[in-house]
Amino acid sequence: MFGVRSITPAEALSALGGATDTAGEAAAWTRIPRTLLALCAGAALATSGTAFQAVTRNPLADPGIFGVLAGASLAVVISLTFFNVSRTLPIMLIASAGAFAAAVFVYSVGSIGRGGATPLKLALSGAATAAALSSLTSAILLPRANVMDEFRNWQIGSVSGAQWESLAVALPLLGLGFAIVFLTSSGLNALSLGDDVATSLGINLTRTRILVTFGAVLLCGTATAVTGPIAFVGLIVPHVLRLLLGTDHRILIPASALAGAVLLTLADTAGRLLEGSSEIAVGIIMPFLGAPLFIWIVRQTRMREL
């Protein structure tokens, strides 16, 4: 097991069996939950990115398109500023609530008017909501340096604070989100063909979009609440896999979950090894990995509507 201090698999297993040596405790209470969180968060972000790209028919969509990240950030700032909440589990629950509230607002605004919740209206309402929530977050933070320092620890995006307590709450929610998105994969295939074609195939557009959006928000909202915002996983992974595997979401969704889990875990491992005695947060590593790759993809392929 990689990190500042090398721990063998035998030491990790002995710790799970009740051993109390220092190395074993480090494995049982720090590294194992950290690795598990990286796997689950990576899978959740990539899967939600795939779902959002399908719902909006926008290959550049990511979990932030529904204002989820901005909503979670604002909720955390409000809890730190006005309610002095500092424990990990309450902050996680508050961030999840903020993510859901933002997504519900975006979907409600995007549903107003003729045609209901069209991809274009959802994307525009999401962008406007995210901008407004981010501005409000900045307005609250600027005169409060002490809160900004606390918020920065969450905002940077990291799995280093993984705890069994928070995982016990997050894993059932992530499992439900994965199940919803996977079970609606056939509906996503129909949505990608356009609203008229999907309707002619017997797809209930409103119900499918609501279910997929709920599952995707559950995934990225829960992951973001535990780790903080982590960029590029929900954008890069589904985009690359769509180029490699095609547009069948029955294949894309499980493939995205697997690739996202591997990518985020490798990025976290790299962050632990690069600095020697310290580490670099995965929220910093991912843009370094994702930005050059995405620029290369954009240069090599012609962006087209799904």
Whether the per-residue pLDDT at 298 is higher than 90: the answer is no
Would you tell me how many other CB atoms lie within 10 Å of the CB of residue 204? 12
CATH entry 1.10.3470.10 includes domain 35-300: yes
- CA–CA separation, 158 and 264 (whole Å): 10
Please report, for the chain, the start and end positions of each structural domain, with discontinuous segments joined by +: 35-300
| pLDDT tens by residue, 177-225 | 999 999 999 999 998 888 888 888 888 888 998 999 999 999 998 999 8
Q: Output Rg (C-alpha) for the chain, integer angstroms.
A: 20
Single out the residue of 61, 66, 86 nearest to residue 76, CA to CA: 86
Residues 254-278, mean pLDDT to the nearest whole number: 88
Single out the residue of 260, 233, 92, 227 nearest to residue 160, CA to CA: 227
Whether the per-residue pLDDT at 303 is higher than 60: the answer is no
Q: What is the DSSP letter of 64?
A: G
Residues 215-239, mean pLDDT to the nearest whole number: 90
